[in-house]
Amino acid sequence: MIRWSYGINQFKPQFDDFTRRREHERALRVISISGFTGVELSAGSGRWEPLGNPTQIAANFGSVAGFREFVEDAALDSVSSWVWDPTAPFQEDLSHGTDPLDPEARPLLVEHARWLAKALEELGGSVLVARPCAGAGRTGPLDDAAIERLASTWQLVGEAIAEYGVRLGLHFDFLSGLRADGGLERFVAASDPDVVGLTLDTAELTIAGIDPVRFLERHADRVVHVQLKNAAVVDDLEEYRQPAAEYGVLRAGGSRAVPRWFLELGASDGLVDSTKFVRALRECDYDGWIVVESDFTPHPATSVMLNGWEMQHVLAPILQGPSTTTSDTRNERALT
């Protein structure tokens, strides 16, 4: 069964934003009234990330179970998933981030994964979405030995979190060290398909110059989670290789000063054909969450509602029967 969720990350453009309970309540209600049934959390640390990990959730909502009640009070079924970058620090245990390329970091990385997965199980979620490695500006191109180390590391993580009924869905972003020299395809080939799943992000693949539909067709058996969002520009200048590209390229827009890398699903100038992609999901019998995102939007609530309309009136009908909704009929509806 396919279910629709929304990424909470778009509500936090700056690190000290989106910290109050009332802000969380409003965000969840906007997501719910826009037709989504789940919410995807983003991992983080400290009091500025009250939804970032089990310790902070318990501090702000009494317990993990208390936060699930808070989610359900907003008429959402559950938390669908948790997005985690293992290279980011957790001040809760005074760790400074773990590098998946470093075999000595594996015990702590597995411990963090289990910590998040245990809470995710209690929240009703099913997928731990993890960044497989740091950006290319830090890692450089990855040789076969590095790919094998990554595959071994994530094998351990996938096996560890399976205890909680949580799947591992590794998330490739356009800044990833796996982007160079066909690293993503080499990693897929080197990793265990039964344990190491993939999160397919339509915008990140598109910005990296990879067709998300073709990627899905090649790896449908590996895709355990989907993040559906639109893209504005392809990084054909390969600025992803720059040091600190997370800031200079992703946030500041790179040399072209791209104002927004990510757009709403129905944006006329977007590069992702979401209807074609959802049809492809149907054809490959995808079973899982589709998480819609609108990263770095200047108007979070508006973006959720626009994407909710697109989901309810254009995309969800594609999954419901032989009568599909095309881009032409979508435009006719918009005009009426």
CATH of the domain at 168: 3.20.20.150
Residues 157-196 have pLDDT tens digits of: 999 999 999 999 999 999 999 999 999 999 999 999 999 9
pTM summary value:
0.94
pLDDT of residue 153: 98
Structurally, the chain folds into a number of domains equal to 1
CA separation for the pair 288, 224 (Å, rounded): 7
> In Å, what is the CA distance from 223 to each residue of 25, 183, 184, 277?
31, 17, 14, 13
Domain residues for the domain of 48 are 3-335
- With 70 as the cut, is the pLDDT of residue 143 above it? yes
Q: State the Cα–Cα distance between residues 15 and 148, nearest whole angstrom.
A: 34
Q: Distances in Å between the alpha carbon of 321 and those of 2, 35, 42, 55, 274? A: 13, 19, 33, 43, 17
Sequence-distant (6+) residues with CB within 8 A of 277 are 202, 212, 213, 216, 228
Instruction: Indicate the helix (H) or strand (E) that contains 282.
Output: helix 274-283
For the stretch 6-31, pLDDT in tens is: 999 999 877 778 999 999 999 999 99
Could you give the C-alpha distances from 207 to 38, 129, 212, 236, in angstroms and in order?
Answer: 26, 19, 10, 8
pLDDT one-digit tens code per residue, 193-212: 999 999 999 999 999 999 99
